[in-house]
């Protein structure tokens, strides 16, 4: 064997590097969890690129390289990380991911992923049961909420679009009703499917950023008069910007009445199904035809990992092969185990293994604890904001997403001030939060993703924002 290949496949080298790597990661977790370090050592993109372009530590040690990767990354496990909606993964999931990476079972067909296929079926069954779909529910795991949304809408088109779209293509008049406050992946999916602007009908939000269900009938009526064929309605559970839950009972009933596909985008907030305290937010989800839930957001799993669950088993097989719909009846399962027939992916990572490792070790109760803790923390944060006169809360939080802003004291406009503060926080790295625009106004946005984030950090964050605001107002 050639020397490089011999070295690359040497189990002893792997053992040695593996032990060093685990020690490094344990030290990292110990250090980062106390929030004494920066969340990120911010570098402009070009500067970051220069560093890696010229990267030459002078040795071939993979652990040294990975140490540099850790140092220069954003630290999601830092309790001062309160930014975008990705989980601080439970460490056991990283062990499972390492095994998956090494085994690299490609999953397209059963024999290329026997374990992960079986675990995937079991996991989907667990979700289906909790969503109220009973034994007839089915679905799959896929790489992200965006892909999950596209897959769900493709199924909707196949089932409600009429004709033989798979063979003949789009008739050109298909449309979906979506909340004004949708994540951009909904619109993107509809555009990929060729619906164009005319096929994306946005239902306005009320003052709490919730879909106005009272106008659904009139919007549908108007679409029909314009010759459009509406196939589906999507709902947020919860929305990305403010974390608001749409009224799933009302939207679901509307869909039933008009024979429309009902998709619930639960990428972020669908995980509340596991929380005894907050699952009421998802009342009506049993009416959905399909639901997406990201495991890599609220369910402590590393990206990418999304569950797409269908109420009717047969719909799960409809997406990429309309023939299967006619071959299957409601109860039979044809080749559940060859997942490539039902997913966008051909080769697929063993998503089920990392999620199952978590469930196997801590049971589903861990998700109740995580979701409930994070949603409770957001309420505490909102109270802290309300108790400080310099700040304004955009809307009472329903989930772990909170939008707020500091009010400008001088002529400097609120939008400019809050954007400048967010940029300064990014550059200084003590906290990581993001910003969003609500009804044309810039708000700072916090998503509490890490159960190690404690109340004291909220006060520190608001103190910091006030301090930064003063520096801007002096200049
Ligand atoms: C409501 C909602 N839907 C979909 C997505 C997209 O999910 P992903 O990032 O897994 O593709 C997001 C991501 O933030 C989201 O908040």
Query: Given ligand 1 and candidates 152, 182, 294, 400, which is best to mutate, with the most ligand atoms within 8 Å of its CB?
Result: 294
- Does any ligand 1 atom lie closer than 6 A to the CB of residue 398? no
**Cβ-based neighbour number of residue 299 at 10 Å:** 25
| pLDDT surpassing 60 at residue 327 | no
77 HSE (CA, 13 A, CB side): 19
Residue 209, helix vs strand vs coil: coil
Tokens of 54: 């010229």
Does the Cβ of 143 fall within 6 Å of ligand 1?
no
Residue 402 pairs in a beta bridge with 446
What is the pLDDT averaged over residues 113-122?
98
- Most ligand 1 atoms within 8 A of CB, residue of 210, 236, 240 to mutate: 240
Does residue 145 have its Cβ closer than 6 Å to ligand 1? Answer: yes
Q: Which of 268, 308, 344 to mutate to test the pocket of ligand 1 (most atoms within 8 A of CB)?
A: 268
Model pLDDT, residue 164? 83
Query: With a 6 A CB cut-off, is 384 part of the ligand 1 pocket?
Result: no
In contact, 12 and 54? CB cutoff 8 Å: no
Q: What is the pLDDT of residue 197?
A: 97
Count of alpha carbons within 13 angstroms of residue 92, beta-carbon side = 13
* Nearest ligand 1 atom, CA 238: 1
- Check pLDDT > 50 for residue 330: no
Least confident segment among 94-103, 167-176, 388-397: 167-176
Q: Are 140 and 108 in contact (CB under 8 A)?
A: no
pLDDT digits (tens, 9 = 90+) for 247-282: 999 999 999 999 999 999 999 999 999 999 999 999
Q: Cβ(267) to ligand 1 under 6 A?
A: yes
Predicted pLDDT at 411: 55
Mean pLDDT of 395-421: 91
Distance CA(472)–CA(431), nearest Å, equals 18
Helix, strand, coil distribution of the chain in percent, nearest 5: 50, 15, 35
Name the DSSP class of 340: G
252 lines ligand 1 (CB under 6 A): no
For 54, other C-beta atoms within 10 Å of its C-beta total 7
Residues 6+ apart with CB under 8 A from 103: 350
Both tokens of residue 284? 């009506």
Q: How confident is the model at residue 331 (pLDDT cuts 50, 70, 90)?
A: very low
Residue 144 CB less than 6 A away from ligand 1:
yes
Average the pLDDT over 404-428 and give the result.
90
Q: Which domains does the chain have, with CATH numbers?
A: 103-362 (3.40.640.10), 366-474 (3.90.1150.10)
pLDDT at residue 322 above 60?
Answer: no
Give yes or no for residue 268 CB within 6 A of ligand 1.
Answer: yes
Lowest pLDDT segment from 26-40, 225-239, 406-420, 436-450 = 406-420
**What is the biggest distance separating any 2 CA atoms in the chain, rounded to whole angstroms?**
73
Looking at residues 446-457, what average pLDDT do you find? Answer: 97
Per-residue model confidence (pLDDT) at position 410: 64
pLDDT one-digit tens code per residue, 371-393:
999 999 999 999 999 999 999 99
Lowest mean pLDDT among 220-234, 273-287, 326-340: 326-340
Give mean pLDDT, residues 290-297: 98
């Amino acid at each position: 064997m050639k020397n490089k290949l011999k070295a690359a496949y040497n189990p002893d080298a792997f053992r040695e590097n593996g032990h060093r790597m685990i020690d490094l990661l344990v030290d990292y977790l110990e250090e980062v969890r106390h929030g004494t370090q920066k969340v990120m050592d911010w570098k402009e993109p070009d500067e970051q690129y220069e560093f890696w372009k010229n990267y030459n530590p002078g040795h071939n040690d993979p652990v040294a390289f990975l140490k540099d990767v850790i140092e220069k990354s954003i630290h999601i496990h830092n309790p001062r990380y309160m930014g975008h909606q990705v989980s601080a993964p439970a460490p056991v999931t990283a062990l499972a991911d390492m095994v998956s990476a090494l085994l690299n079972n490609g999953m397209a067909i059963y024999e290329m992923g026997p374990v992960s296929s079986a675990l995937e079926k079991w996991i989907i069954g667990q979700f289906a049961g909790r969503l109220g779909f009973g034994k007839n529910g089915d679905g799959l795991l896929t790489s992200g909420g965006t892909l999950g949304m596209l897959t769900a809408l493709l199924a909707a088109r196949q089932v409600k679009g009429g004709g033989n779209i798979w063979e003949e293509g789009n008739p050109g008049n298909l449309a979906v009703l979506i909340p004004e406050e949708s994540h951009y992946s909904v619109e993107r999916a509809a555009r990929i499917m060729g619906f164009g602007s005319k096929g994306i009908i946005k239902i306005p939000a009320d003052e709490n950023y919730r879909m106005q269900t009272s106008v659904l009938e009139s919007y549908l009526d108007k679409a029909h008069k314009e010759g459009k064929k509406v196939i589906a309605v999507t709902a947020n559970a919860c929305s990305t910007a403010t974390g608001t839950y749409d009224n799933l009972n009302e939207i679901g009933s509307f869909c039933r009445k008009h024979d429309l596909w009902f998709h619930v985008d639960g990428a972020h907030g669908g995980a509340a199904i596991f929380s005894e305290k907050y699952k009421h937010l998802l009342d009506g989800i049993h009416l959905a035809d399909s639901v997406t839930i990201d495991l890599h957001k609220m369910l402590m799993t590393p990206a990418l990992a999304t569950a797409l669950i269908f109420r009717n088993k047969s719909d799960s097989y409809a997406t990429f092969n309309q023939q299967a719909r006619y071959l299957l009846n409601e109860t039979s399962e044809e080749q559940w185990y060859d997942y490539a027939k039902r997913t966008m992916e051909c080769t697929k990572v063993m998503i089920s293994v990392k999620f199952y490792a978590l469930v196997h070790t801590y049971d589903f109760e861990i998700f109740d604890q995580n979701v409930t803790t994070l949603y409770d923390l957001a309420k505490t944060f909102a109270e802290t904001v309300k108790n400080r006169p310099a700040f304004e809360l955009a809307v009472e939080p329903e989930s772990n997403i909170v939008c707020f802003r500091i009010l400008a004291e001088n002529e400097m406009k609120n939008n400019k001030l809050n954007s400048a503060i967010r940029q300064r926080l990014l550059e200084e790295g003590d906290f990581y939060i993001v910003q969003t625009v609500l009804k044309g106004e810039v708000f700072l946005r916090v998503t509490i993703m890490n159960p190690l984030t404690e109340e004291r950090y909220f006060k520190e964050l608001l103190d910091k924002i006030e301090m930064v605001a003063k520096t801007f107002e002096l200049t």
